[in-house]
Structure 1
Amino acid sequence: MWSSTWKIASVILPLLALTNARLPDGRLHANSPRPPTVPVITADDLLVTDITGAALPPLNTTYIFEQLIDHTNPSLGTFQQRYWTTWQWYETGGPIILFTPGEANAAPYTGYLTNATINGQIAQQEHGATIVLEHRYYGLSNPYPDLSVKSLKFHTIQQAVDDLEYFSKNVKLPMPGGDKVSITTTPWVLVGGSYSGALTSWTMVNKPNLFKAGYASSAVVEAIIDYWGYFEPIRQFMPKNCSTDVEAVIAHVDSVFTSGSKTQINQLKALFGWQNLTHLDDAAGSLRNNLWDWQSLSPDSGPGSLFFNFCDALEVKNGVSASASGWGLDHALQAWGSYWTTTYYPLLCGDQDVVSCLGSYDANATYYTDITVDNSGRSWTWIVCNEVGFLQEGAPSNHPTIVTRLVQPAYDERQCTLMFPGAWSSPPVPAANKVNAAYDGWNVSIDHLFFANGQR
């Protein structure tokens, strides 16, 4: 489960691939899962001073590191990898705190240089410096000028792990004495959250004794293909009346779409504004979005957050909240349809029509054919298709489900072939077992690696 326990203050929804965003939340289309990105935190004050009171470069000052394109073949040359750093609290001998936001353009993440986050708090306490490093193939840190299948050849977990080693050993930081603080002489702490938290764990497994310590928040260390369990903490801990009614509506949607008459199917599609959607798995799958909003909650979330607004739309009638058994199918179905069409769809899709926003079958759609850089959705999907999976589908038939069973791994694997034509001869099966064997997954046991996770 990817929770938003990372941030000390309120959570801001991730701003992904701003240049090429198709949806308001940055995804390519609304039937693709939201990447497990840490929340964006932008520094409130870009001007800081060092321990002597001397002014330092603004926190949004961008620095460049010449990173190897292929760590197994250095002769291919280097590419420019962006990073941001400050030495606000640094004293000689202090540690270097290295963080990557993972699958996003890293420019908005200047807050992770400050003590508004655990990164800066560690640096402040231990008199260290902080770094935000942009992950290869995200933002403007790209080995090649596009994100074609050919260009993505070196976009792998192992190359990203090797990036962290090469950077920490070779970077010359722009602070006084910055050429003398490589990881071979100075303690470095690796920090990450969600996917980048997993990258922290994977790096410490793959490069034992390189980093002095690691801090992994909500780290998705276990690669899973059919990740129906993603929705289990949501089902278990969301308001009981809401989960009861959501289960009832989803069971009804699946029943109508699999065995209902044409009239019943058309009536259901009309209720949610799906009339122009040809494929029923796209229609039913789109309702996952209301459940995905759970990922944006934090311990201080309360009334007014998008997820709880959804539950209120189903469970509050004439000012009265339903009991744990909910209001039942008839009310919940109509209430969900009304909330979806009048309130939620504009937030989700902006001005996109229903086929552009929710459809996944058109091979010529821009979200499949756009290979420009700074397209985090495309870069993340490459890792999903090849290595980690994390395909968020309906539960098995013998288990309660809050999302449709019409969406199964084949639904997402088909999209891989549309987005990356020619990459595979048939729909790919992510190499999750290989990833877990290489980096230990849930079986990780490494000294000085701290995991932060939340359970109510």
Structure 2
Amino acid sequence: MRRFLGFIHLLSGFAYAAFLRGNAVNVDSLDPLGKSALAFPKPGYHNGWGTFDQLIDHSDPSLGTFKQRYWYSTQYWKGPGSPVVLVNSGERSAEGTDRAYLSDALLPGLFAKEIGAAVILMEHRYWGRSSPFDTLTSENLKYLTLDNSLKDIINFAQTWVPDFDPSGSSSPQRSPWIYTGGSYAGALASWLASLYPGTFWAYHGSSSVVQNIGNFWQYHRPIQEATPQNCSRDLGRVIDYIDDVLLNGTEDEKLFLKSRFKLEELQDADFAAAIASGPWLWQRTHFSDQRQKGFNKYHKFCDYIENSVSWFTWTVPGASGVGLEKALQGYARWFTQVHLPSYCEREAGYEGWKGRFNTGCFDSLNPSNPAYHDLTVNNWANRQWNWMLCNEPFKWWQNGAPEGTPTIVSRLLDSEYWESLCHLYFPEGGYGIQRNLTVEKINAWTGGWAVHPITRLLESNGQFDPWRDATVSAVDRPGGPMASTPDHPVILMPGGVHCSDYYKKDWDNNLEVKRTVDEEIRIMRRWVRDFYEHGGEANGHPNEQTSGQTQNNGQTNGQASGQLIGQVVGQIGDLRR
């Protein structure tokens, strides 16, 4: 899931869930670590790109098509009939990410390398250069639905003819196609397997946010579990104090509090959302940061709270922390010295957002905020993702914890606050929440935590991933975290964060992540081997739509697949490792 004016990026990305990006986090699975993971092609790097004529609405083909971008690499491909790995870029433009995705710097490319596959990156509808419309009004956004997004992937896999293999030997009927994604794009893996089985032979989802949750206060629970006790306690003290002032203080007291953070112009809930930027840093942590620098940005945030940022500060506060006043002072110093300076100007640069301490990007409750009126595809606030949160509705509001439960963000961050931003984004209406759609309805359709019976779906989640409790490894899942089975392996990475297994720089710097990736590769190699040993017909593959259809040469899919088995297994090598 990226940031809204007020919500948070699932992936991928990897998933955001707050609205204006100044006050929010996406579930987005691919962050700058992935974008810069491969600055230059390796020797022998071969790739291509193109556009695919995709239906605007799969339920009404008469509306026509739009151009959907894709990139591919055959660097690891072993020839016709070899596997194909497909990854969806999720809720963001795929511009500039192809080199990382198509190489072994990220997990899809590593899968391809280990099983001798071609790897394809597909841009999600409505992002980058894959939008049916240039102007994102509510009317134009109505075709941005989960169902259309899932069917995009199926339609592409079933009808696209690869430039590198026009013979048809690399179709899903004649070679094993594997879908993989992280965060929201990882949830697509589960939903494809559950709702539209048969096209893909196997699926993998990292940090797959399969359960849609309205009051998602549990987003902060893994952060609290991972936070040093002194920082966690002091952070809780500060938030309790801030909430008391905002809810019970005089106007002068509130103004003085906000001025300590240079946020005196913001309304109360916007102020609470702005300073939540600290805890939300945790989602972007990587083991490579800790290995190379000894700390990450979240640890630095905690050091400010504990008044331990100076190199000359040798005394580490005990588990009880430094107390309210010092922690509040440290929090304000972090925000005004580290986070706020030039943030709004640097992030978007709208007219009126210039200046070192400009706060325009945090002004979510202001209907005149330029982010609400930017209807371009490459808009700063990720209008498309906000639409999906408000329309499906995914929701995933990162709220403060209920009374009686320790919280590290303000309880002024509640569902009412986030949903009020839906109306500011889409004042003309027409989105799902306004039409009384609920997360319960979408979970009933997709299966949510329950997941319909599926075969060859591999899921990996992080112990300290903020999105953990929207995955099948959720603590609150009925019956507890999902148990792993041979057909549906579930791996919980000790110490893992969001999509930790997707990044080479993480598996190179953490043994538990490396063990997870090694196990994922072992499972994928076994499933690919099963495809060739069973002629692609095991467990009902291909599906009824395509099974038995004849190819141009008059052979059935089963006959064609059977003739390729020995040839391809020989090309790929020993898949039994």
Give TM-score scaled by structure 1 length. 0.88
Question: How far has the Cα of 1:85 moved from its partner?
Answer: 0.2
Alignment of 1:122-133 (within 5 A): 122-133=111-122
Partner Cα separation in structure 2 for residue 378 and residue 68 of structure 1? 21
Question: How far has the Cα of 1:292 moved from its partner?
Answer: 0.8
Relative contact order, higher structure (CA 8 A, sep 6+): 1
Which region of structure 1 is more displaced relative to structure 2, 122-131 or 248-257? Answer: 122-131
Partner of 1:19: none
Partner of 1:434: 441
Is the 1:191–1:214 Cα contact (8 Å) retained in structure 2? Answer: yes
Partner Cα separation in structure 1 for residue 66 and residue 147 of structure 2? 17
- CA pair 87-68 structure 1, distance change in 2 beyond 3 A: same
Identify which of 189, 201, 212 aligns with 1:200.
189
Question: How far has the Cα of 1:298 moved from its partner?
Answer: 2.4
Is the 2:82–2:117 Cα contact (8 Å) retained in structure 1? Answer: yes
- CA pair 374-350 structure 1, distance change in 2 beyond 3 A: closer
How big is each residue's C-alpha offset from its partner over 1:46-85, in whole Å with a ceiling of 9 and x where there is no partner? 3653xxxxx73xx4x4311111111111111110000000
Partner Cα separation in structure 1 for residue 12 and residue 57 of structure 2? 29
Partner of 1:407: 413
How big is each residue's C-alpha offset from its partner over 1:294-322, in whole Å with a ceiling of 9 and x where there is no partner? 00012344234211110011124433221
SS in 2 for 1:320: coil
Q: Quote the RMSD (CA, aligned, Å).
A: 2.4
Is 1:225 aligned to residue 221 of structure 2? no
Partner Cα separation in structure 1 for residue 112 and residue 27 of structure 2? 28
Partner of 2:87: 99
Partner Cα separation in structure 1 for residue 454 and residue 13 of structure 2? 33
Identify which of 16, 29, 48 aligns with 1:37.
29
Partner Cα separation in structure 1 for residue 385 and residue 432 of structure 2? 20
How big is each residue's C-alpha offset from its partner over 1:113-153, in whole Å with a ceiling of 9 and x where there is no partner? 11122212221222110000000011110112221111111
Partner of 2:50: 63
Alignment-mate amino acid for residue 70 of structure 2? Y
- CA pair 298-47 structure 1, distance change in 2 beyond 3 A: closer
- CA pair 183-15 structure 1, distance change in 2 beyond 3 A: closer
How big is each residue's C-alpha offset from its partner over 1:89-117, in whole Å with a ceiling of 9 and x where there is no partner? 21222111000120011122221111122
Question: How far has the Cα of 1:34 moved from its partner?
Answer: 2.9
Question: How far has the Cα of 1:178 moved from its partner?
Answer: 6.1
Is 1:392 aligned to residue 398 of structure 2? yes
Partner of 1:79: 66
Identify which of 422, 425, 429 aligns with 1:419.
425
Identify which of 288, 311, 328 aligns with 2:276.
288
Identify which of 371, 378, 383 aligns with 1:378.
383
Partner Cα separation in structure 2 for residue 116 and residue 367 of structure 1? 34
SS in 2 for 1:154: coil
- CA pair 35-14 structure 1, distance change in 2 beyond 3 A: closer
Partner Cα separation in structure 2 for residue 426 and residue 28 of structure 1? 19
- CA pair 178-144 structure 1, distance change in 2 beyond 3 A: farther
Is the 2:224–2:408 Cα contact (8 Å) retained in structure 1? Answer: yes
Is the 1:417–1:426 Cα contact (8 Å) retained in structure 2? Answer: no
Partner Cα separation in structure 2 for residue 27 and residue 420 of structure 1? 12
SS in 1 for 2:77: coil
- CA pair 27-145 structure 1, distance change in 2 beyond 3 A: same
Partner of 2:125: 136
Question: How far has the Cα of 1:27 moved from its partner?
Answer: 7.9
Is the 1:29–1:367 Cα contact (8 Å) retained in structure 2? Answer: no
Question: How far has the Cα of 1:14 moved from its partner?
Answer: 8.0
Aligned residues: 428
SS in 2 for 1:166: helix
How big is each residue's C-alpha offset from its partner over 1:186-217, in whole Å with a ceiling of 9 and x where there is no partner? 21000000010001111111112221101100
SS in 2 for 1:396: coil
Question: How far has the Cα of 1:344 moved from its partner?
Answer: 1.6
Give TM-score scaled by structure 2 length. 0.70
Partner of 1:7: none
Alignment of 1:244-259 (within 5 A): 244-259=233-248
Which structure 2 segments of 5+ residues have no match?
Answer: 3-10, 347-352, 464-494, 496-577
Is the 1:417–1:427 Cα contact (8 Å) retained in structure 2? Answer: no
Identify which of 433, 441, 452 aligns with 2:460.
452
Which region of structure 1 is more displaced relative to structure 2, 352-361 or 325-334? Answer: 352-361
Alignment-mate amino acid for residue 310 of structure 1? F
Partner of 2:360: 356
Is the 1:99–1:192 Cα contact (8 Å) retained in structure 2? Answer: yes
Is 1:186 aligned to residue 175 of structure 2? yes
Is the 1:219–1:451 Cα contact (8 Å) retained in structure 2? Answer: yes
Is the 1:242–1:314 Cα contact (8 Å) retained in structure 2? Answer: yes
How big is each residue's C-alpha offset from its partner over 1:208-243, in whole Å with a ceiling of 9 and x where there is no partner? 222110110011110111111100100121111111
Identify which of 109, 112, 116 aligns with 2:97.
109
Partner of 1:368: 372
Question: How far has the Cα of 1:347 moved from its partner?
Answer: 6.2
Partner Cα separation in structure 1 for residue 460 and residue 444 of structure 2? 23
Is the 2:12–2:91 Cα contact (8 Å) retained in structure 1? Answer: no
Alignment-mate amino acid for residue 83 of structure 2? P
Question: How far has the Cα of 1:431 moved from its partner?
Answer: 2.8
Partner of 1:20: none
Partner Cα separation in structure 2 for residue 430 and residue 360 of structure 1? 24
Partner of 2:256: 267
Q: Which has the larger radius of gyration?
A: 2
Identity %: 34
